[in-house]
Amino acid sequence: MNKKHIFLLILFLISTLSFSQNKYITKTGNVDFEASVSSFEEVKAINNSTTAIVNVDNGDFAALILVKGFRFKNALMEEHFNENYAESDTYPKATFKGKIKDLNVSTLNTTSIFKADGTLTFHGKSKSLNDIAFKINNVDGLITITGTFDIKVSDFDIDIPKIVSDKVAETVNVSFDFTLNKK
């Protein structure tokens, strides 16, 4: 074995190591949002096709939401959401990329709160979010992550037309619920 071979072998070992990170994944995560105003029809949608990945070694977290996957009770509301607000033909994806701080799942035996920082991208606009509370647990090898945060529609360059402005809230409450399996 010459030097070149040894170098390649080391390179191979390094790449195998970096692939064997502790990643947990879901393809069917739940994300829902609500922008209801009391006494008007509820403005709420649920997406149960969200992909989420967490690297439990360093806390890296990423989620990808296919915007077309948001389902409303009211079909017309769903159509308007896709065409006029989210413009999901042009912006079919929403993402969150960030880091869960001081994540350590190996010692978890009860739901604990961790803080996460990251960037939420929706409707082609990005907004950084800080110190979002992630409630995390580790039960029988499944990692559960739940939480909730508020966003302003104006941060994502979405205009609510005057005619419906009293029926749709300016602040949207987003909640998420992921059950991740080890990859």
Q: Count of CB atoms within 10 A of residue 42's CB?
A: 14
> CB burial class (10 A; 0-12, 13-18, 19+) of residue 87?
middle
Binding mask 63-102 for other proteins (x = CB under 8 A): -x-xxxx----xxx-x---x-----xx--xx---------
String of DSSP letters for 40-100? S---EEEEEEEEEEEETTT-EEEEEEEGGG-EESSHHHHHHIIIIIS-TTT--EEEEEEEE
Show the binding pattern over residues 18-57: x = contacts other proteins (CB under 8 A), - = does not: -------x-xx-------------------xx-x-x----
Determine the Cα–Cα distance for residues 61 and 84; give it in Å rounded to an integer.
30
Residue type at 155 in one-letter notation? D
In terms of CB distance, is 88 or 138 closer to other proteins?
88
What's the min distance (Å) between Cβ of 51 and other proteins?
Answer: 5
The distance of closest approach from Cβ of residue 157 to other proteins in the complex, given in angstroms and rounded to an integer, is 20
Q: Which of 62, 108, 151, 160 binds other proteins (CB under 8 A)?
A: 62
Backbone angles phi, psi at 171, to 5 degrees: -105, 130
Output the CA angle 21-22-27, nearest 5 degrees. 115
For residue 70, the minimal CB distance to other proteins (Å) is 9
Identify which of residues 53 and 168 has a Cβ nearer to other proteins in the complex: 53
Smaller CB separation from other proteins, 8 or 139: 139
Binding site for other proteins (CB under 8 A): 25, 27-28, 48-49, 51, 53, 62, 64, 66-69, 74-76, 78, 82, 88-89, 92-93
